Amino acid sequence: MPKAPKSNAGKANKVIHPNSRTAKYLQRQANRDQRVQKTKADTVIKQEQLQQRLIWYQDNMDPQKSAYTKHEVAELTLEYLERFSEELEQIGIVNNIGNRQTKQHQARETAIKITQEKEKHEFKTVGIEVPDLINGKSFEYFRNWTGEINFLPQIKLRRSKDSDLKEATEESEASADDKISSDELPDYVD
């Protein structure tokens, strides 16, 4: 006759000593589970923020263009940085009405200002991750993107910086100086 399976009823009710190896093992497992859950939650938040940013770019792209230049992408990024200006104006108008001691929507206003400062600092230093609108192939893929988070890894990203604006203005000034100097050359030649 086969043996009956052992029951774990006694082990389930057994009290574990706090300094035992079993207690340490269970604590490590619990800590790891918390760490994994926190990492997953942080990843989901980052993906949702990136998704919102990409949807904003998709909504504000010029439908007639087949590709953008670095300068145009930087200008579009400046528009992105100013996306909360209307909401801040509305909050200011609401706060100016009447003789209120406290401000309404203070938490939202603070959150917007912190976000703007962070994004402006990022734009001036390392750059903001934006969709690659310069490359025609990735531009077409981005234009046809339906907004699903599952397809975010296929979208090629690049960094848009403040220096991209400055380089374009310096290049235009340099080309204007070249035109002036080439116009002046024939005057000096006999």
DSSP3 helix / strand / coil % (the chain, rounded to 5): 70, 5, 30
Q: Give the count of domains, the chain.
A: 1
CATH code of the domain containing 126: 1.20.1440.170
Contact between residue 152 and residue 47 where contact means Cβ atoms under 8 Å apart: yes
Residue 187 lies inside a defined structural domain of this protein:
no
Q: Is the pTM of this model over 0.95?
A: no
Residue 10 lies inside a defined structural domain of this protein:
no
Domain with 110 in it = 21-168
- d(CA 122, CA 72) in angstroms, rounded, equals 18
pLDDT tens across the length of the chain (190 residues): 678 877 776 666 788 899 999 999 999 999 999 999 999 999 999 999 999 999 999 999 988 988 899 999 999 999 999 999 999 999 888 888 877 777 888 899 999 999 999 999 999 999 999 999 999 899 999 999 999 999 999 999 999 999 888 876 676 666 655 555 555 555 544 4
Torsion of CA 172, 173, 179, 182, to 10 degrees: -130
Residue 51 lies inside a defined structural domain of this protein:
yes
